[in-house]
Amino acid sequence: MTSTLLVVQFILAIILTITVLLQKSSSIGLGAYSGSNESLFGAKGPANFLTKATMVIGLLFVLNTLILGYTYNEQRLKSAVDTVQAETLIPSIPAPTTSQSTAPAAPDAPAPAVK
């Protein structure tokens, strides 16, 4: 889920940047490319629409940031030890033992005499 929210965060950042740059400023910015006054937005141009769009996208960006911060904090509080199951570490049945000795048998021949 966090990867999906992170992708949405990047997309919102790009869209927010574009809407801010499209607004008119003292140096016009990218607002010069929005077309003439006879556009879809009416005689006032896209100023009112872009202002509202910037506010909505900014709000979505902040909410997504808060959700991402919450989910990353929840993951930070989890430990790797919490995910390990105790029954997989300790076998419930001990390994079977054999009654025979595993040590090699002693040789039957006597040791050579030392002079």
pLDDT at residue 14 in the model: 95
pTM: 0.52
Spell out a b/e string for 89-105, using b for 16 or more CB atoms within 10 Å of the CB, else e. Answer: eeeeeeeeeeeeeeeee
Give per-residue pLDDT as tens, 84-103. Answer: 776 666 666 666 666 555 66
Q: What is the mean pLDDT of the chain?
A: 75
Give per-residue pLDDT as tens, 10-37. Answer: 999 999 999 988 887 655 555 555 554 4
Give per-residue pLDDT as tens, 32-46. Answer: 555 544 455 555 556
